[in-house]
Amino acid sequence: MALLQDPTLLFGTSGNVLGLTTLANFPGASSTTFTVDVSNSLLTSLQVWSIAGGTVNATNGVIFQAFSTPDNMWYDTVSYYPPIIMPQVASTLNRQSFMLSTGKYLVQLVNQDPSNSVTVMATTGNIV
């Protein structure tokens, strides 16, 4: 099967899938979920940003999980990726990118620091 054109990367605007969101310390309101629909793309790059406050606990980090759906109704119970921990350093921006193939995903970010909040944001760039 040949492509009709060469693939093109469409850069996203910062925060286009999740604007700045503060996650409280664990186990309070420590998580957020959002959907990423890349059903019209060959591939997408999802970049997650996180920044901790002035201090971090020894147990820290934001856990990333993405759950796929084949029918736009029921999401997998096992993550597309194994749970990935993005470690935190006090007052430091941390960025990590994940490649997602064509489909629709429910993304969950969880702050595992028991004492400190963390701010997160997510952006996509699609290859079409």
Name all domains of the chain by residue range, CATH numbers in brackets: 18-127 (2.60.120.680)
Instruction: Determine contact, residues 96/48, Cβ cutoff 8 Å.
Output: yes
Give the residue-averaged pLDDT of 94-117.
93
Per-residue pLDDT tens digits for 74-93: 899 999 888 999 999 999 99
Backbone angles phi, psi at 58, to 5 degrees: -60, -35
Instruction: Using pLDDT thresholds of 50, 70 and 90, give the confidence band for residue 2.
Output: low
**Mean pLDDT taken over the chain:** 89
Q: How is the beta sheet containing 62-69 ordered, strand by strand?
A: 31-37, 104-111, 62-69, 84-86
Per-residue pLDDT tens digits for 20-31: 999 998 877 799
Instruction: Using pLDDT thresholds of 50, 70 and 90, give the confidence band for residue 4.
Output: low
